[in-house]
A and B are shown apart, each in its own frame.
Chain A
Amino acid sequence: MAHSPPAPTAPAPAMHRRPRPGRAPGRAHLAPLDGLRGLAVAAVLLFHAGYLGGGFLGVDLFFVLSGFLITGLLLGEVQRRGRIALPAFWGRRARRLLPALAAMGTAALLLAWAAGPPSLLGFALDDAPWAAAQVVNWHFIAEQVGYFNASDTRLFSHLWSIGVEWQFYLVWPLVVAVAGRGRGGPRRVALLAGAGALGSLWLMVQLGGTVDTTRAYEGTDTRAFALLLGAVAATAPVRRPADRVPRPVADGVCALLVCGLAASWVLTGGQNAPGLFRGGLFAHSLAAAVLIALLAAAPGGHTGRALGSAVPRRLGELSYSLYLWHWPVFLLLPQKVFGIGGWARAVLAIGLSLVAAVLSKLLVEDPVRFGARWATGRRGLAALLAAAVVAAGVWAAIPRPHPGAGTVDVQRLMSP
């Protein structure tokens, strides 16, 4: 009967090189945007640790960033070449996202088997195929995990947002490939994205008024406005006027927007906050989209430089693997570790998540992205198949637990 939607998550990064201010989105790496991603993942981590009531809004910022970056890449390609090589696009996304996801999923299953309670393992085994198929958000909607406030019974509950992103990645490039051609392409894409965002908002308002808010919170359609507002921000009709904003003004507005977003993370009381599904999330997405558009136009201002400084940027570069790992770590780590709990446990959990994230980046993500020998050509294919076999084998081999055994004492039933 609880009414909190499931745990929020962070989306996938799109770019990871050093800043090259002034380049078009998707063709360059903007350090302030990495910094924003770092802030977002920090907010999510603190929210899950119980110390930032509105930290779940970080995932909304991730969505906007993804919409902006992916649309920039797609529009750039269709404008340059007149078409989008869709299989190549999806292949790049898969190479970027799936290896780390598969590694985390396999390791998390093994850890849950070794050290988790039967119910956690049971749900993880149930949810894993849905997560692998990138539709786990719909699975959670069907299971009403938000209604039961059951996110913390699910090792993979944070993967709902990856599912949303993947579904967006499947559909949106098709739209851009068709609508983005020719001189009027960016304008058409902007109009479609804007109209889609408004439609998505309408859906969220309709579905957010129910007792179980999982549908509104995790639906691809209801959350699409964040991705689509990011997409609008990546189009020329927005980027051109953003470029014309005087730099000091843009910098000041960026500072105000960053403060506003941070304030909303601090002041929002949780996922049941009034107005969240009636425009609150949309307003957050809109503010994030404006901020991103201005930062992309003027990344070298005070705000851009602060966001692009070492700590938030490094955190942003780790955000995907950090997001993947933090939730299993939070759930599997005992409530008391060597007698410590509260803040100290949260710090320990975040530290362990960081270690796992660094290892994932160094051992899995970077080799695949940067073409290590084992990750390219035939070796790469063999590695991919081997990883798939190992993941499926682990899933199949782990004995299914039998939760509930011994939970009823018949003698107590018989006593008056």
Chain B
Amino acid sequence: MTTPLTGGFRWFGGDMHTENRPQRTSPRHRRPAALAALALVTVSAGAALAGCGGSGGGTAENASGQQKTGKKVLWIGDSIAGAEAPPLGAALTASGQHFKDASSDGGGTVVEGDKMSRPLAQDAWKTLKKNLASFHPDVIAYQLTSYDWGTPAQQRASYEKLAKTAQDAGAELDLVSAPPFRIDSFYKKYEGAIKSAPKAAEQVADASGGKVHFVDTTPLWGTEPTGKQARRSPDGVHSCQQGSAAFAKWYTERLGKQNGFTPAAPQKWAQGSWTGDKRYANLKCD
């Protein structure tokens, strides 16, 4: 994507240069110059839009017109991550980065643990491989899921496998802790695994020599599922628009520091069309 885009840009730049320089002030040449300028603006805008498309593009243009490389962030996890994805995508795109939501409702775990989580993990690994091949992410962000059911050893092994997969794909790995959520009868028997998952993830990050980052979201969400800070939807598990936007702002800032880009102001993305995403209606958010 970068090569043809740059080539096209250069071609028009060269053309404009030879047309304009000798006759810069001549009225006879104002119209061609204006046309050339218009062409330049059009192509630049097209280039910027194409860069923001995210499907294989690696460039974007910032407000000052300078071209820069945008990072590609692949977002994976379960439906909790899915509810956070719309504003995260909006925030990163507004910041000139690229985003793909590969979260899974009712799955998404990479932990090859017990008989319930193993089939989910198999699907998640298959999907991840496809996304690595098609999206070529610079950052893989895995939010620990509510299905990371397994022993601490199984959790560590799975996160290490994910780290190795990311490394092989040339991507950084962020292991993002899950927000606190209501442990109902469905989750009760997995409470131990849900508690041990972030510890296992932190251990893997600590042992990675800086290649894996453990992103502790406790400062954002707190630890109490029913607390105001957790901003859970009526189901006690997912977040609604406001909570998801808070996460998007918080995590985009962190990604910006990590990857050297300036996050866009929330005014630019926080009230966009993503707020009408169907999943929030499913969650009875309004």
Chain A interface residues toward B at CB < 8 A: 1-3, 117-119, 122-123, 143-145, 147-150, 152-153, 209-212, 272, 402-405, 407-410, 412-414
Contact = CB atoms under 8 A, between A and B. Distances in A.
A361 B29 CA distance: 80
A148 B105 contact: yes
A273 to B, nearest CB: 11
A3 B245 CA distance: 25
B54 interface: no
Interface stretch (B1-9, B31-39, B200-208, B236-244): B236-244
B72 to A, nearest CB: 25
Given A1-B235, A413-B266, A212 B282 contact: no
Residue with the highest number of chain A CB atoms closer than 10 Å, among B78, B147, B185, B270: B270
A407 B267 contact: no
Contact of B146 (A1, A153, A409, A410): A1
B281 A123 contact: yes
B275 A3 contact: no
A268 B90 CA distance: 44
Given A147-B105, A149-B235, A413-B266, A407 B286 contact: yes
B246 interface: yes
Contacts of A149: 235
Contacts of B120: 211
Main secondary structure of the interface of A (DSSP, over half): loop
A296 to B, nearest CB: 40
B242 A119 contact: no
Given A119-B281, A211-B116, 20 more contacts: A3-B186, A119-B284, A123-B281, A147-B79, A147-B106, A148-B235, A150-B282, A404-B274, A404-B275, A404-B280, A404-B285, A405-B276, A407-B240, A407-B241, A407-B275, A408-B87, A408-B241, A409-B242, A410-B270, A412-B242
B276 A402 contact: yes
Contacts of B281: 119, 122-123, 153, 403-404
Nearest to B274: A404
17 contacts: A1-B146, A1-B181, A144-B105, A144-B106, A145-B282, A148-B283, A153-B281, A210-B119, A212-B105, A272-B186, A402-B276, A404-B274, A404-B277, A405-B276, A408-B270, A410-B271, A413-B249
